[in-house]
Amino acid sequence: MPMPRPETPSTALGKTKDLIKHGCERIEQTIKASGSRLCSYAERVAFLMDRSKNPDNSPQPPTPTDNINLGPSANPNAKPTDFDFLKVIGKGSFGKVLLAKRKSDGMSYAVKVLQKKSILKKKEQTHIMAERNVLLKNVKHPFLVGLHYSFQTSEKLYFVLDYVNGGELFFHLQRERCFREPRARFYAAEVASAVGYLHSLNIIYRDLKPENILLDCQGHIVLTDFGLCKEGMEPEETTSTFCGTPEYLAPEVLRKQPYDRTVDWWCLGAVLYEMLFGLPPFYSRDVSQMYDNILHQPLQIQGTKTMAACDILQGLLHKDQKRRLGAKMDFSGPADLRHFDPEFTQEAVSNSITRTPDLAASCSSASDAFLGFSYAPTDEDFQVFK
């Protein structure tokens, strides 16, 4: 009996592509079948179907590649065999995110595994390094995912990240269509805190969308995926790289004009709008029409939303970036007193500090007047700074 011929690489690759195609078709069928449960109108179903078609690269036979300089690692001896990889919990253009348990201590992590060949082929090393650099600065903020360490093999890069198991915000929107206003407000406030922290580090995020917002086990948001971040952005500095996700692009990005950190506030407005209404604010299946809507159509706010919700949406989604909510700094420094009443700030400081002649202490000894306060004799020669 003749032995079966082994599959050639091209045959195996063809089968893999067929599997991917059939998988996408099954996702579309699931969304169509669940349309009445997922949302109450066809546009949301179409929106979900479009998202399911977001193409990833077809897998290629692995070949050794040059090392990518990831800089110093907190665990220079780390290797893939340190972990038991349990489940795939996310996918992207260059690889996957897996739930992994570290063998040495049983701790759970989300390990992002990226194909070096795909990164080098598309010349995306800069974005990968930007993500690592930003992750290293994020460890102290509760609403930003933390990087524990990174390492690489001849074929892949590994980012060992916090495991956040509440799922993507997009998943919850997909299931519930939209959120009640208190819930949307809660998420938006935490996202604003995370984005504001990045801005304080002179980093703009540039890709805020529900897929990049995770929920932890206590219901708080965790911002992840920093590949499109731009570092070194001073408050008044601009950049002009065309990047982001179509539904959330700010008008100035579409016009290919220089833009600043206010693009993140536009994106926050778009995400908040989607949480409240089920679709991004200017959405159309026709991308050209959607871009035209973003550039020229007024914001439509339907339904019975509070005045506060309408106001913040109008402010965040202002087409003029200079007038957008978040465009002006709240404070220019510690000496910025614009938020205090001028009646106080115009008063002479010396009148508040020096000895008041017509008032005498009611205690025989000033040092015993208030327990817990150290006593300093009045110094007539102190200097008042103006």
Same domain, 44 and 148: no
What is the secondary structure of 150-217 as a DSSP string?
A: EEE-SSEEEEEE---TT-BHHHHHHHHSS--HHHHHHHHHHHHHHHHHHHHTT-B-----GGGEEE-T
Tens of pLDDT, residues 355-377: 665 555 555 565 566 777 777 76
Residues noted as catalytic: 207
Q: Give the C-alpha separation, 224 to 164, whole Å.
A: 10
What is the number of structural domains in the chain? 3
Q: What is the mean pLDDT of residues 174-183?
A: 95
Domain identity same for 119 and 205: no
User: In this predicted structure, what is the pLDDT of residue 361?
Assistant: 52
- Distance between CA atoms of residues 175 and 248, nearest Å: 21
| Residue 44: both structure tokens together | 């949301």
Q: Quick check: is 251 in a domain?
A: yes
Assign 286 a pLDDT band (cuts: 50, 70, 90).
very high
Please check whether residue 279 is in contact with residue 47, taking contact to mean a CB–CB distance below 8 angstroms: yes
Q: Is residue 340 part of a domain?
A: no
What does the pLDDT look like over 13-24, one tens digit per residue? 455 455 445 555
Q: What is the pLDDT of residues 311-320, one digit of tens each?
A: 999 999 999 9
Indicate whether 273 belongs to any domain. Answer: yes
Q: Please give the span between the terminal C-alpha atoms of the chain, in angstroms, as a whole number.
A: 100
pLDDT score for 27: 44
> Is 116 annotated in some ligand binding site?
no
Place of tokens 């910025």: 336
Q: Are 168 and 211 in contact (CB under 8 A)?
A: yes
In a domain? residue 337: no
In terms of residue numbers, what domain contains 260? 169-316
Quick one: 178 and 311 in the same domain?
yes
Domain membership flag for residue 377: no
Any domain includes 128:
yes
